Structure 1
Amino acid sequence: MTYHVGISDDRFIRGNIPMTKAEIRILVLARAKINPGDTVIDIGAGTGSLSVEAALQSGYGEVYAIEREPEGIELIRQNAAQFAAAVRPIAGAAPQALQGLPQADVILIGGSGGKLDAILTEARQLLKPGGRLVVTAVTVETLQRALAFLDSCPEFSVETICAQVTRLRKVASSHMMQALNPIYIIAAEAE
């Protein structure tokens, strides 16, 4: 199967679990700089859309998808199988669910359940030298907390963007622009 980054959203099984949209996945993956063989941890994996694309990029690497919602774990399994992506779903809430995982080249944080500082502390310990950490945030409070934490870590160089995606949708015989929620993407690279 040929893989092209930014798999169409409609190809994923969704359920009632939030999913990172294709345009945002593309930006996150660009910041994550996943190489073949990389070990990736996706925290708050939701439907597994980002985990699947990370696994397709890492090839023979390992991808762990941490998700606390049972429906999400099932969706991760289904989506990984659908794309023949080697994703290992881990049921549980971070940071506890990170116990026993190997050192990672890339850690993605898309959901924190209000435990962002504890998750970032654990992620910092799990990240290999030269590793990349990418946090997505939909609220300014999460953005502020992530930046405050990462700015206190001298080993990280941090870059942040805010992405706003608007899609064209057909409405009867006309076309209308429909905005998706803006999202902050905080990328930190360990030196």
Structure 2
Amino acid sequence: MNKVFSINDDEFIRGKVPMTKSEIRAISIGKLELEEDSKVVDIGAGTGAISIEIASIIKKGKVYAIEKKEEAVELIKRNRSHFDIRNLEIIKGLAPEDLNNIDKIDRVFIGGSSGNMEEIIKWAHEKLSDRGKIVINTITIENAYKAINSLKQNEFKDIDIVHVNISKGKSVGDLTMMIGTNPIYIISAKR
């Protein structure tokens, strides 16, 4: 399990908690433009898939994973142990209020906002370093719209929006049928 990037979905301990799939993780993490000593916050961390993958890349950096649901927090702990990740701190709570003890950071990933998108983006603008970057994944048009507007209001630069549709092959007898997954908006911007 010493992979540097692109951990297979089936390697994670799952439960009933939503997980960002490997193809979406690859694009989202790529958009973060990580450095080996980056300080990263993963908001709405779910199973911890994004946090685990980032932590495995930034060996000299640190990842803070914040998640409000107890079941998800336990899964993140189990996955952290499963992948022997040592630079991941788990915070049980709600963003942004439970992140006030974190100083300057380099990257923010938002996978879930619990309705606090505008407040989280404002917090990110205050906490991000000068070369900081934010990446937001949303599945709804409304949240994409809120995120883009909030990024503009907080004077983020180079706002980029990618709409990703992934289909995966499934065997149907001796044929292969493509099954679509939920489309995702991946929004990135620089401070």
TM-score (norm 2): 0.96
| Partner SS state of residue 73, structure 1 | helix
Q: Is the 8 A contact 2:160 2:189 kept in 1?
A: yes
What amino acid is aligned across from residue 177 of structure 1 in structure 2?
A: M
| Partner SS state of residue 115, structure 2 | coil
Give the distance between the partners of 2:2 and 2:18, measured in 1 at CA. Answer: 26
TM superposition shift of 1:152:
2.1
Q: Is the 8 A contact 2:166 2:180 kept in 1?
A: yes
1:45 match = 45
Q: Which runs of 5+ in 2 are unaligned?
A: none
Cα root mean square deviation, aligned: 1.1
TM superposition shift of 1:57:
1.1
% identity of equivalent residues: 36
Shift >6 Å, 4+ stretches? none
TM superposition shift of 1:155:
4.3
TM-score (norm 1): 0.96
| Partner SS state of residue 177, structure 2 | strand
Give the distance between the partners of 1:80 and 1:154, measured in 2 at CA. Answer: 35
Q: Is the 8 A contact 2:167 2:179 kept in 1?
A: yes
Give the distance between the partners of 2:174 and 2:72, measured in 1 at CA. Answer: 37
2:129 match = 128
Q: Deviations over 1:62-116 (max 9, x none)?
A: 1000000001111111111111122111000111111101211110001011111
1:116 match = 117
Q: Which moved more, 1:152-161 or 1:44-53?
A: 152-161
Q: How many residue pairs get matched?
A: 190
2:31 match = 31
What amino acid is aligned across from residue 49 of structure 1 in structure 2?
A: A
Give the distance between the partners of 1:71 and 1:52, measured in 2 at CA. Answer: 17
Q: Which runs of 5+ in 1 are unaligned?
A: none
| Partner SS state of residue 34, structure 2 | coil
1:142 match = 143
1:187 match = 188
